[in-house]
Structure formats: C-alpha cells, structure tokens
C-alpha cells in the first residue's frame, strides 16, 4: 500500500515562489532589443531604442538597398551600424531622387533618429571603407 506523505509547508512555499518568479519573464521585458542586430551588420528598427528590428544589411559596394519596394520604407525610428567595413547612408526617396537622411560610420552604436528624420528612410547604401 502507498502511504500519503505530507510536504513541509516551507517546501510548498519554495516551489510556489520558484513557479511564480523564477520561470516567468519580468513584466518590463519586451521582445526585440539593440542586440537583435547581428555583429558586423547594419540594422533598422521600427521603434526607438532598438526595438522592433525589421531590416538588416551587410554587403557594401552595391546599389541602394531599396527597402521601400519591399514594403519597409518610412518606418525606421532607430538604427545601429555594427559593421566594421561600411559607412551607412540612410536615404529618403523623394519621388525623383534619393535624398540623404543620415550618414554614419562603422562601429556606430545604436541611436535613435531625431524627430525630423523618423519614418523617412526608404533606402540604405553601404559604402565600403578601404
């Protein structure tokens, strides 16, 4: 026959604390951070402070990455140039030409775009540094 064993109250309390605090994510945790951008890439984010990675590029020397034609234009609020080899030129399509919005060198830490530049980027050109 099996005999019922009672757990000490302290053990029950410890398990309860573990289940309610140790396994749950903190309420302030948000998906997406600056570090969603891989090392040696340039990244654009939907929101301030590196939240909501939506585009990344690594190859320099080519034409403008036209993110507007991919449905990704006019939404960037922050960026990070983690490349070791490229200056990133963020551009706005005016309807007739590419206009500069912001240019940053390699190793540029994540930054928010200023108020007059948010939601304007339609293209990115990564210019190789020799």
Where are the chain's structural domains?
34-128
Q: What's residue 31's pLDDT?
A: 54
Contact present, 3 and 13 (Cβ < 8 Å): no
Cα 123 to Cα 9, 13, 22, 61, 84: the distances in Å are: 62, 56, 43, 14, 20
Tell me the mean pLDDT in the region 59-75: 96
Q: What's residue 27's pLDDT?
A: 30
Tell me the mean pLDDT in the region 90-119: 96
Q: What's residue 20's pLDDT?
A: 28
The greatest distance separating any two alpha carbons of the chain, rounded to the nearest whole angstrom, comes to: 86
**Which segments of 3-130 are extended strands (E)?**
42-45, 53-57, 65-66, 78-81, 86-93, 98-104, 108-112, 123-128
Euclidean distance between CA atoms 62 and 103, whole angstroms? 16
What CATH number labels 34-128? 2.60.20.10
Assign 8 a pLDDT band (cuts: 50, 70, 90): low
Q: What's residue 130's pLDDT?
A: 72
Look at residue 104 and tell me whether its pLDDT is greater than 60: yes
How many other C-beta atoms lie within 10 A of the C-beta of residue 71? 7
Q: What's residue 69's pLDDT?
A: 96
């Amino acid at each position: 026959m099996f005999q019922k064993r009672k757990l000490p109250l302290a053990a029950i309390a410890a398990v309860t604390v573990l289940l309610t605090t140790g396994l749950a994510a903190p309420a302030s945790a948000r998906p997406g951070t600056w570090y969603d951008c891989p090392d040696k890439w340039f990244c654009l984010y939907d929101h301030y402070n590196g939240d909501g990675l939506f585009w990344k590029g690594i190859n320099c020397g080519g034409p403008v990455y036209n993110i507007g034609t991919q449905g990704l234009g006019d939404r960037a609020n922050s960026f990070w140039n983690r490349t070791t080899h490229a200056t990133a030129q963020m551009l706005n399509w005016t309807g007739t030409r590419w206009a500069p919005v912001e240019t940053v060198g390699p190793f540029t830490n994540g930054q928010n775009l200023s108020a007059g530049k948010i939601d304007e980027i339609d293209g990115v050109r990564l210019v190789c540094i020799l």
